[in-house]
Amino acid sequence: MHDAPATPKARLLHLKGWAQGKFADRRVKLALAVLAVLVIGAWLYQSWAHEETDDANVVGHIHSISPRVAGTVAEVLVQDNEKVAAGQPLVRLDTAEYQVKVDQAQATYDRAKSDYDRLLPLQGNEAISQQDSDTSKEKVKVAAAQLQDAKNQLDWCTLRAPTDGRVGRKQVEAGNRVAPGSSLMAVVDGAWVVANFKETQIGRMRVGQPVSLKIDGIPGRTFRGHIESFAPGTGSTFALLPPDNATGNFTKVVQRVPVKIVLEPESIRGVEDRVLPGLSAIPVVDLTK
């Protein structure tokens, strides 16, 4: 056991030290309480002022490159992941059979035009009937249309990039026989985020509100964007087999609404090629703006 202080002065000093210790403990507890209040307040403010979801993905335009005419592939001019410009040739088909069609159509048109030009002076002298003149004129129109169609098919033998972008999913090689509508490759351009927020989260969301985003495939960076639009229906509305709540037992399920978020160009500068469709994202919407 500790002995009590022997003198009044010693007892006074002992009591003073005890009081100071108690006061220090009280200050520590008060500081911890204030810190806890601040943390809880910050968390509540964050919850009130922001909405967040991890159900979000980067999306882009994926243009399927398909031939409009059948043919044999003569050249494949690009490789997977290559950057291309709008109008740049991607694939060329063998043009031999289509050039023959153009030559034949040109000959038919020239003959029809020559016949019409020969009959035209006779019409004024009534040497031919109006019906013969109209028939000859109609043949010229038909031949001209057939010639234009043949030229179009010849031009379609060169498949071009519809926009600036990057080549992906290339599945064609020289010598392949391709049919109209068959997918040869894709050109990908653009990047935005589609976030599927719960219906309980979108009550205070508005078009134009700022958004900060993290993309899993690009760690260490925070991107900026804004809400551009809301989908015209929930995700389940556009499902292949939408739910029919009019039959059977009903169980309420919180629906999700796709929200389109546009990335600010300066925010992704330098990493444009890494913001790829399909990457997961975590957007946080600022509801105070």
Cβ neighbours around 165 below 10 Å, total: 21
pLDDT > 70? residue 11: no
Residues 6+ apart with CB under 8 A from 288: 49
> pLDDT digit string (tens) for 223-260?
999 999 999 998 888 877 777 666 667 778 889 999 99
| Average of per-residue pLDDT values in the chain | 87
In the chain, % of residues over pLDDT 90:
67
Residue whose structure tokens are 């020969």: 118
CATH fold match for the domains 51-61+185-286 and 95-156: no
Q: Where are the domains of the chain?
A: 51-61+185-286, 95-156
Using CA atoms, how far residue 248 sits from 157, 239, 251, in Å, is: 56, 19, 10
**CATH pick for 51-61+185-286 out of 1.10.10.60, 1.20.1090.10, 2.70.170.10, 2.40.30.170:** 2.40.30.170
pLDDT of residue 241: 75
What is the four-CA torsion angle of 276, 277, 278, 282, rounded to 10 degrees? 70
Mean pLDDT of 60-89: 97
209 vs 224: CA distance, rounded Å: 11
52: left (phi over 0), alpha (psi -120 to 50) or beta: beta
Write out 151-194 in H/E/C secondary structure: HHHHHCCEEECCCCEEEECCCCCCCCEECCCCCCEEEEEEEEEE
At 241, list the tokens.
Answer: 């087999």
Chain-centre distance of CA 104, in angstroms? Answer: 45
Tell which wins on pLDDT, 126 or 46.
126
What is the four-CA torsion angle of 101, 102, 107, 108, rounded to 10 degrees? 70
Predicted TM-score (pTM) of this structure: 0.74
User: What CATH number belongs to 95-156?
Assistant: 1.10.287.470
